[in-house]
Structure 1
Amino acid sequence: MTNATIPAGYKQTEVGIIPEDWEVKSLGDVASFGGGTTPSRSQQEKYFANGVFLWVKTTDLNNSYIYETEEKVTQSAMSETCLTLHPSETILVAMYGGLNQIGRTGLLLSPATINQALSAVIPNDKLIVSHYALHYLNFKVDYWKSVASSSRKDPNITSNDIKSFPIILPSIKEQTAIAIVLSDVDALIASLNAQIAKKRDIKTATMQQLLTGKQRLAGFGEGKGMKSSELGEIPEDWEVVPLSELIRQLIAGVSVNSIDSDDYDEETSAILKTSAVYNGRFFPQESKKISATDIKRAKINPHANSIIVSRMNTPSLVGECGYVDKSYPFLFVPDRLWSIYLRSEKTNVKWLVLLLGYSKFHLAIKEIATGTSGSMKNIAKPAFLALSVFCPPSEEQAAIAGVLSAMDEDIAALEQRLAKTKAMKQGMMQELLTGRTRLVVGSTKPSPFDLYEQTKRENFVHSSRLEGIHMPMQKPETSLADVLAKYRAA
């Protein structure tokens, strides 16, 4: 690295180029540390029953704020063990549990105890802002892979590793400003997650009503009552039929040699993975390139307006299905998936995939799966086709599918917005936590949007972390705050 490549006002450090007025410190230089333990489980009644003190485990960590814990401990546990009540604003870091767990974080919003798998980082508030440190630790979570070690199966990190963690530090005012902005985006992400969860709950309740006939859509069932059937009460004008009356064929593909690849291309011959179907949805990108020597062996393509079912999978995923909206001439079905061919065009495909995913029939499909291995189950064709299901008239099938599909579209739109917001946050962290983009810090506590009023929009737009997000260049007087406001309202 030469001085010519270092922008004016910046300097080279062991962690890269940062602003001249920023510092690089070890976490141990700006915080104190604490630990915890697990009170004896053999004294559950004494140490855990009716506990009042929060007790944090790795599974309680959410890379965000900790309001509550799965378990609490009693005053006896506090008095008779080495548990310590760590103060609010303490940051917790997971040390054990393998590469998917180490480095997970949480920030205490109220005092709490922890178990021995966590390290408590108590920031010196004159040197570091706890909320800034939380965001920085989350941004650098991959760092732990380079330091993790273990003589056991799962890698882990130590408290000394955490103390040695290098962290970039702007002034306290700028740390605060950065933390406010990133926390604001976190709040937006949390709000989107809550909206998605609410809409999914509404869809589940609606499925329960419409797919069983407990509630009829306008124009259907007027003057009709209910009747008894082998599946319980159903509308008088509905039937109970085996799937064999709706499905003409279940065709599985063949197993072929394949090559793992992260690049999905609709014009490259690929074989679907069993993970290509889940919860009524089809994911064509869940596929692997077919080896050149085996391309001619592949034979069944996913076709438009059809259903694919996972006939062989783990106990939790066997029987999953997905709706295929269009034909994929270069994708092929493997031997562990079925492509469904219906007997009549009068059967609504979207209604059927919703029905197969409805809890009552979803569970029934899993129950007919057999296998001596606890890790893999298989569904036999005769058993699948013999399953009895509700069957309304075709016009009502289409109407039900229309209502529930509209709900799916709403959820998908929110999921896309969530993905875009998460990508936006990654770009913001890349800019703000490295000093590439500086925030204007006033004498009073600014709002997140005001903080961006004079930042360098072009740096943000060109951040490598924002790949895939369309942010067209605007007039120079347009601020980054305006851009963020646009995406908030989208």
Structure 2
Amino acid sequence: MELKQNVALSALKGYKNTVIGVIPEDWVVTRLGDVLKIRHGKSQKEVEVINGKYPILGTGGIMGATNTYLYNKQSVLIGRKGTIDKPRFMDTPFWTVDTLFYSEIFENAIPKYLFYNFLLIDWYSHNEASGVPSLNASKIENIKIPMPSTKEEQKSIAQVLTDTDNLIQTIEQKLSKKRNIKQGAMQQLLTPKKDWEVKKLPDVCWFQEGPGLRNWQFTKNGMKVINVTNLVNGYLNLDKTDRHISMKEFENMYKHFEIDENDIVMASSGNSYSKVAVVRKQDLRLLMNTSVIRFKPINGLDYNYLLIFLKSNTFKDQIDLLITGGAQPNFGPFHLNKIDIFLPPTKNEQTKIATILKDMDNEIEQLEEKLSKYKLLKQGLMQNLLTGKIRLV
């Protein structure tokens, strides 16, 4: 099937079976070549200028600028070579290089409707190269999609999806603004003052690195084991975790590595090093692997102040100066023993600072959840609207 769809409507009145799935009876199966022409980009060498009016586009985005456009009408762009699964919609003049196709869209189709169909196509199933992914213009034009019989319905579908995209963009802009505000607040609030004290991290924080478990120790059930891949958006995601060790082995050798509720866990190796998550009651019971370190505040350190510190650039900048490894950086207790933490003179002041930043974190989390919901909504709308499962007329 050309589109990622799992519509089961063949038994319903007003729908029909086709080579690309079940669609409304008044819709048609259309070759892309019947509604658009795939055009090749060109070298930008002769047209590129420093402060041009129009963007020069490649598969990775904007590559430069020009005062000469290659095309000035609405168009759907798709990679010819390299990144082939990131369609782009343009409604302003542009230039594309040779690695990026653009499309000349015919009068019988709404350009934005075609763009949303491009988003549903499994482009890698049309890849023609064993090395760098590549697409062929004629093969693209032979792809079949479902089309409403009227441009009015195409336009209605495109408008709903565009409105949803606009909502997503608004949330993303708010989220970016909130993150920038929080970053500035952290910089201001965590900058040491004259009466602040500097201590080594182990003086106010207990930490423990997970044991070095081996693949042969893992079982299908028993005590669940986490690693860096489970640390997602500040919490643990255990949905796809199937690593365990036997309860007997856990009780005999690893019981002191069991994670507790409210432990702060951190990735200590790989590209995700210094990523932080908080352990919730529903996550338990759990055991750490060697790439995870857990933290607990001691000697009067405020819990949320520690959490904020471990997430801060103040902590990460120090770790970056101490870590070992190139492509796969690593750190452990040896490095953490050398970390400085800057503390207000009273725990009450620590708590006030942590509360301000925690409230900002909560606002960011709410926006992230809202963004995730709208992205899921958009995906569902595309699946339903572009196959006719939901009709707007």
TM-score range, shorter chain: 0.7 to 0.9
Q: In structure 2, what is the equivalent of residue 106 of structure 1? A: 88
Matched, 1:235 2:194: yes
Matched, 1:73 2:46: no
In structure 1, list runs of 5 or more residues that go unmatched: 61-68, 76-83, 214-233, 261-266, 441-490
Q: Which amino acid aligns with 2:215?
A: N
Q: Would the alpha carbon gap of residues 397 and 172 (structure 1) be closer, same or farther in structure 2, given more than 3 Å must change?
A: same
Matched, 1:20 2:14: no
User: What is the rounded CA distance, in whole Å, between the counterparts of 1:293 and 1:302 in structure 2?
Assistant: 16
Q: In structure 1, what is the equivalent of residue 115 of structure 2? A: 134
Q: String of CA shifts for 1:143-189, please: whole Å, max 9, x gaps.
A: x232213132x332211221112121111010001111111111111
Q: Which amino acid aligns with 1:391?
A: L
Q: Would the alpha carbon gap of residues 111 and 366 (structure 1) be closer, same or farther in structure 2, given more than 3 Å must change?
A: same
CA contact (8 A) 1:273 1:287 kept: no
CA contact (8 A) 1:196 1:411 kept: yes
Matched, 1:367 2:326: no
Moved more, 331-340 or 321-330: 321-330
Q: String of CA shifts for 1:451-490, please: whole Å, max 9, x gaps.
A: xxxxxxxxxxxxxxxxxxxxxxxxxxxxxxxxxxxxxxxx
User: What is the rounded CA distance, in whole Å, between the counterparts of 1:352 and 1:291 in structure 2?
Assistant: 30
Question: Which of 306, 309, 312 is the aligned partner of 1:355?
Answer: 309
Question: Which of 254, 268, 288 is the aligned partner of 1:311?
Answer: 268
The offset of 1:278, in angstroms, is 6.3
Q: In structure 1, what is the equivalent of residue 81 of structure 2? A: 96
Matched, 1:330 2:274: no
User: What is the rounded CA distance, in whole Å, between the counterparts of 1:286 and 1:333 in structure 2?
Assistant: 16
Question: Which of 320, 326, 334 is the aligned partner of 1:382?
Answer: 334
User: What is the rounded CA distance, in whole Å, between the counterparts of 1:249 and 1:351 in structure 2?
Assistant: 15
Question: Which of 284, 290, 308 is the aligned partner of 2:243?
Answer: 290
Aligned residues: 378
1:72 match: secondary structure:
strand
User: What is the rounded CA distance, in whole Å, between the counterparts of 1:169 and 1:278 in structure 2?
Assistant: 39
CA contact (8 A) 2:262 2:280 kept: yes
User: What is the rounded CA distance, in whole Å, between the counterparts of 1:323 and 1:92 in structure 2?
Assistant: 42
Q: Would the alpha carbon gap of residues 268 and 57 (structure 1) be closer, same or farther in structure 2, given more than 3 Å must change?
A: farther
Q: In structure 2, what is the equivalent of residue 421 of structure 1? A: 374
2:88 match: secondary structure:
strand
Taking structure 2 as the reference length, the TM-score comes to 0.87
CA contact (8 A) 1:301 1:327 kept: no
Q: Which amino acid aligns with 1:422?
A: K
Q: Which amino acid aligns with 2:36?
A: A
CA contact (8 A) 2:264 2:277 kept: yes
CA contact (8 A) 1:258 1:289 kept: no
Q: In structure 1, what is the equivalent of residue 5 of structure 2? A: none
1:339 match: secondary structure:
strand
2:242 match: secondary structure:
strand
Q: String of CA shifts for 1:189-213, please: whole Å, max 9, x gaps.
A: 1111111111111111111111125
Question: Which of 379, 382, 395 is the aligned partner of 2:348?
Answer: 395
Q: CA RMSD in A?
A: 2.7
User: What is the rounded CA distance, in whole Å, between the counterparts of 1:294 and 1:115 in structure 2?
Assistant: 59
Higher relative contact order (CA 8 A, sep 6+): 2
**1:26-41 residue pairs with structure 2 within 5 A?**
26-40=31-45
User: What is the rounded CA distance, in whole Å, between the counterparts of 1:160 and 1:211 in structure 2?
Assistant: 58
CA contact (8 A) 1:311 1:337 kept: yes
Could you list the structure 1 runs, at least 4 aligned residues long, displaced by more than 6 angstroms after superposition: none
Q: In structure 1, what is the equivalent of residue 212 of structure 2? A: 254
How much identity, in percent, do the aligned residues show? 27
2:241 match: secondary structure:
strand
In structure 2, list runs of 5 or more residues that go unmatched: 1-8
Q: Which amino acid aligns with 1:379?
A: F
User: What is the rounded CA distance, in whole Å, between the counterparts of 1:320 and 1:378 in structure 2?
Assistant: 12
The offset of 1:268, in angstroms, is 7.0
Q: Would the alpha carbon gap of residues 277 and 5 (structure 1) be closer, same or farther in structure 2, given more than 3 Å must change?
A: closer
Matched, 1:409 2:362: yes
Q: Which amino acid aligns with 2:33?
A: G
User: What is the rounded CA distance, in whole Å, between the counterparts of 1:395 and 1:332 in structure 2?
Assistant: 33
CA contact (8 A) 2:264 2:278 kept: yes
